Amino acid sequence: MGYLPCGIYHEYYKQDHAWWQTRFVYVKMVLLVLVLILFPYLVSPMWLSVAYTISYYILACMGVQLLIGYCGQITLGHAAFVAVGAYTSAMMVLFIPWPKLIVDWGLAYPISMIAAGIAAGMWSVLFGLPSARVKGFYLIMTTMAAQWITVPFIITQYVSRIGGRGHYFSLPPGTVKLGPWVIDSDVKVYYLSAALVVLLTLVMANLLRSKVGRAWIAIRDNDIAAETLGVNIVWYKLVAFFVAGFFAGIAGSFYVTALYFVSPEHYEWFFSLMWVGVILIGGVGSLHGTIFGSMFVVLVFKFLEMTIIPMTDMFPWFAMKLIYIKESAFGLAVVLFLLYEPNGLSYRYWQLKNYFNLWPFSY
């Protein structure tokens, strides 16, 4: 929970559950929306790709945060569900003979995005079924099995070869449309990513305030006590896996617009591990942690690229070692956060916010 500024209090239950509880928060959120809208006109094109990569990480990590942070279910195979979403969306856009009306109105991609979320959610539920009987280490092995079965086997050996293709699906320019809006530039990809992040964050936050969200948190804190109180833990665990998979499918479908092709290389096991590391850095059990962790990791990777690439003229071998340097830096960051800031960046944000809210009594 957070504290209200000194001298401000609530008189009604509705006020206590309002999204924006003070005028300052209202002004802050309006300014945030304005910054999101004007961002493409304030920065160079290079930073647009950084911005929508952060959005992609947020969308992908949201499901990981739900499972680990709010429901207490360990997952190390989330990239598999993102891959299912990406391939479902790309194949529906490429191979389904859509009626001319749907193509003209630009509805094929939005329909494929929803279908991608549902397909990834159902695939996630399939591998979430063992959570009814196992937990901890055994559940880790189950979710890892999802990764190895889905990406290296099903997608690489069979799905990616549909239509005579050898490795990946490439979408022709102008294929991805959202209504009359052809997503063919970094600016449009950025706006789509920002809209998806805002929308799915609102969905996630409202879910957590509902009966379903309270059941997830009860299962995370003590599943035996939750079951004793009448919570159907099997049902709610499977709902958590479906919603997490749905978010992953949306993330995979979105990333198609950024790359205009899909390949198994983008969904290797490292990404499943990295997205768990993102929420450890940002803060487990916090929506802010998903955002802060994604920003931290993507910006650190970008900083390393900007630092190392100019040095490749003097040290050419740096270019070949860049990926290993980035992975090593990520691993070091996770270790340092676990040692010195185990609650993540969101905890520091919470402390800073409460310091100002409680001033001059912030001791």
pLDDT tens readout for residues 305-323: 888 767 666 666 666 676 7
Does residue 92 register a pLDDT over 80?
A: yes
Q: Is 182 helix (H, G, I), strand (E, B) or coil?
A: strand
Shortest CA distance to 275 belongs to which of 97, 113, 147, 114? 147
pLDDT score at 5 = 76
Span 251-270, average pLDDT: 90
Higher pLDDT among residues 201 and 17, named by residue: 201
Q: Is 19 helix (H, G, I), strand (E, B) or coil?
A: coil
Span 228-251, average pLDDT: 95
pLDDT score at 305 = 84
The H or E element containing residue 306 is helix 287-308
Span 182-203, average pLDDT: 93
Does residue 176 register a pLDDT over 60?
A: yes
Span 282-289, average pLDDT: 94
Does residue 57 register a pLDDT over 70?
A: yes
Under the banding of pLDDT at 50, 70 and 90, the label for residue 1 is low
Span 337-353, average pLDDT: 92
Does residue 246 register a pLDDT over 70?
A: yes
Shortest CA distance to 48 belongs to which of 185, 244, 219, 253? 185
Does residue 194 register a pLDDT over 90?
A: yes
Under the banding of pLDDT at 50, 70 and 90, the label for residue 81 is very high
Q: Is 169 helix (H, G, I), strand (E, B) or coil?
A: strand
CA dihedral 267, 270, 274, 277 (to 10 degrees): 140
pLDDT score at 318 = 63
DSSP state of 154: I
Among the listed ranges 15-19, 59-63, 149-153, 285-289, which one has the minimum average pLDDT value?
Answer: 15-19
Query: Which token pair is 18?
Result: 């309002």
pTM as predicted:
0.92
Among the listed ranges 44-53, 163-172, 176-185, which one has the minimum average pLDDT value?
Answer: 163-172
**List of E strands, 95-229:** 169-170, 177-178, 181-182
pLDDT score at 163 = 64
d(CA 51, CA 118): 26
Shortest CA distance to 212 belongs to which of 243, 179, 167? 243
Concatenated DSSP letters for 116-151? HHHHHHHHHHHHHGGGGT--THHHHHHHHHHHHIII
The H or E element containing residue 261 is strand 261-262
Name the amino acid, one letter, at 145: A
d(CA 351, CA 88): 42
pLDDT tens readout for residues 205-236: 999 999 999 999 999 999 999 999 999 999 99
Query: Which token pair is 346?
Result: 């969101």
% of the chain with per-residue pLDDT over 90: 58
d(CA 165, CA 111): 24
pLDDT tens readout for residues 34-48: 999 999 999 988 899
pLDDT score at 166 = 58
Higher pLDDT among residues 17 and 266, named by residue: 266
Residue 190: phi and psi, rounded to 5, are -60, -50
Q: How many CB atoms lie within 10 A of CB 226?
A: 20
